Amino acid sequence: MLTNLRVLLIISGGIAAYKSLELIRGLRTGGAHVRPILTKGGAQFVTPLSVASLAHEKVHSDLFSLTDESEIGHIRLARETDLVVVAPATADILAKMANGIADDLATTVLLATDRPILAAPAMNSRMWEDASTQRNLAQLHADGVMTVGPAHGELAEGEVGIGRMAEPAEILAVIENALSGPLSGVRALVTSGPTHEPIDPVRYIANRSSGKQGHAIAGACARLGAAVTLVSGPSAEADPPGVATVHVETARDMLEACLDALPADVAICAAAVSDWRPAEAREKKIKKDKSGASSTPADLKLVENPDILATLSARENDRPRLVIGFAAETDDVVAYAQSKLATKGCDWILANDVSPETGTFGGDHNKVHLISAAAAGESGVEEWPYASKLDVAARLAERIAHALGESP
Ligand code: C5P
């Protein structure tokens, strides 16, 4: 599967570096060529000799090495590869990547490369959860860097928490799918979750969307090899592995993140975007006090939010080849979805029944109809069986691969 794939593997300084030796072995067994870069910190945990022996390649570490630069400079290292993998990726290297800092060979190559980058973060859970790391991660995702992990489990310090590097087998699976699945080479944009529209600093308008269906679709597309940007409103769902996830709050932020993610081959708008937002988000908490009549909820003025699906469908120069929307209805599901196809200008609508008795909102299952513009002699309506949201996502990803394969 990985035959002749050229991987530039950057090993930065964390205890998980020992697992990168196994990753090298797995990559080579799969047929890949591995060119290793070991940072100064990485060399504290694994020796250049063990890395070189397993990779059957010279280990690069020094930006200013005369011999290295004359034989193969940092620009060639950055270009002569199909994929850059950073494993383990410490908080420090993620921070540098997010800010364009290039102060050693590894970070200079990361700045200079135009190849896909996959990072496998590994660190103590407090460092992972720290606001600065999460900010850097959001930036990296917005820049299109893919990540896998970290996982929850026992950490080096004897604590239990999130921060363990993803296992080499999981990293290998993400790499394989990215390169050989039926959606490899395809850029997919997925929206998911609700949006939160602030009323004041403590209150907001939202809806019951859990993000389960959208996240499952992002994961399913990534498993088939797509480079996926998931733009997610507030959701309890974990970021899917191998997906660049951008976290947003409001519809307007979601639209901006979607436009930033263009160009894309396919856009799937699964988010339950709030149709309205308060005309102004008050800076101070609105008091219950009736005397201040202007601040009572009866006064809450709403304005319409931008329609992300319609906006993407109407793009002139960078409209995705396939734009897919959802129609969550409680009655006349198919009829409403058919008219929505026209009003939104998208190519397909997945119509689902969200009446309370179906348990779709927040649940794990979904019943959908796929509505497309009817071809001659066809109705354009396909009924899919009641299935888990994961199965619906997998089926949709296969259908997308098929459709894009037919219309290059
Ligand atoms: O109009 P309605 O909300 O029923 O349409 C649902 C579809 O439109 C979903 O695909 C949803 O993600 C998308 N949508 C959007 N932006 C909005 C409202 C809905 O992208 N502001």
**Residue 1 covered by a domain:** no
Which residue among 230, 308, 323 has the greatest number of ligand 1 atoms within 8 angstroms of its CB, and so is best to mutate?
308
Instruction: Indicate which atom in ligand 1 lies nearest the CA of residue 344.
Output: 8
Measure the CA–CA gap between 135 and 121, rounded to whole angstroms: 14
Instruction: Output DSSP code: residue 358.
Output: G
Instruction: Indicate which atom in ligand 1 lies nearest the CA of residue 274.
Output: 21
Are 214 and 265 found together in one domain? yes
Number of residues in the chain: 408
Are 210 and 302 found together in one domain? yes
Domain end point (choices 155, 180, 205): 180
Are 122 and 254 found together in one domain? no
Instruction: Indicate which atom in ligand 1 lies nearest the CA of residue 309.
Output: 20
Domain end point (choices 161, 180, 199): 180
Work out how many domains the chain is built from and give that number.
2
Instruction: Indicate which atom in ligand 1 lies nearest the CA of residue 327.
Output: 6
Measure the CA–CA gap between 256 and 310, rounded to whole angstroms: 14
User: Residue 191 has what pLDDT?
Assistant: 98
- Nearest CA, atom 21, ligand 1: 307
328: CA distance to ligand 1 center in Å?
A: 9
**Residue 232 covered by a domain:** yes
Which residue among 277, 309, 338, 348 has the greatest number of ligand 1 atoms within 8 angstroms of its CB, and so is best to mutate?
309
Are 264 and 377 found together in one domain? yes
Are 175 and 35 found together in one domain? yes
CATH number at residue 272: 3.40.50.10300
Instruction: Output DSSP code: residue 277.
Output: E
pLDDT digits (tens, 9 = 90+) for 258-316: 999 999 999 999 999 999 999 998 888 887 765 555 556 667 899 999 999 999 999 99
400: CA distance to ligand 1 center in Å?
A: 20
- Residue ranges of the chain with pLDDT lower than 50? none
Are 324 and 191 found together in one domain? yes
Are 240 and 117 found together in one domain? no
Residues with CB under 6 A from ligand 1: 191, 251, 269-271, 273, 275, 305, 307-309, 325-327
Integer CA distances (angstroms), 252 to 53, 107, 259, in order: 52, 33, 11
Integer CA distances (angstroms), 152 to 122, 166, 286, 322, in order: 11, 9, 40, 36
For residue 38, list its beta bridge partners.
11
In Å, the largest CA–CA distance within the chain is: 79
Residues 6+ apart with CB under 8 A from 196: 204, 205, 206, 233, 234, 249, 250, 274
- Nearest CA, atom 2, ligand 1: 327
Measure the CA–CA gap between 44 and 237, rounded to whole angstroms: 36
Q: CB burial class (10 A; 0-12, 13-18, 19+) of residue 112?
A: middle
Measure the CA–CA gap between 403 and 407, rounded to whole angstroms: 6
User: Residue 55 has what pLDDT?
Assistant: 97
**Residue 381 covered by a domain:** yes
Are 176 and 193 found together in one domain? no
User: Residue 115 has what pLDDT?
Assistant: 86
Are 285 and 309 found together in one domain? yes
Are 174 and 216 found together in one domain? no
Active site residues per annotation: 207
Ordered alpha helix ranges (H), 211-352:
212-223, 251-261, 308-313, 333-344
Residue with tokens 């290295």: 68
254: CA distance to ligand 1 center in Å?
A: 12
**Residue 290 covered by a domain:** yes
CATH number at residue 98: 3.40.50.1950
142: CA distance to ligand 1 center in Å?
A: 22
275: CA distance to ligand 1 center in Å?
A: 8
Are 18 and 140 found together in one domain? yes
Are 173 and 215 found together in one domain? no
User: Residue 41 has what pLDDT?
Assistant: 96
User: Residue 23 has what pLDDT?
Assistant: 98
State which residues form the domain around 227: 187-406
Q: pTM to 2 decimals?
A: 0.74
pLDDT digits (tens, 9 = 90+) for 81-138: 989 999 999 999 999 999 999 999 999 999 999 888 999 999 999 999 999 999 999 8
Domain end point (choices 159, 180, 201): 180
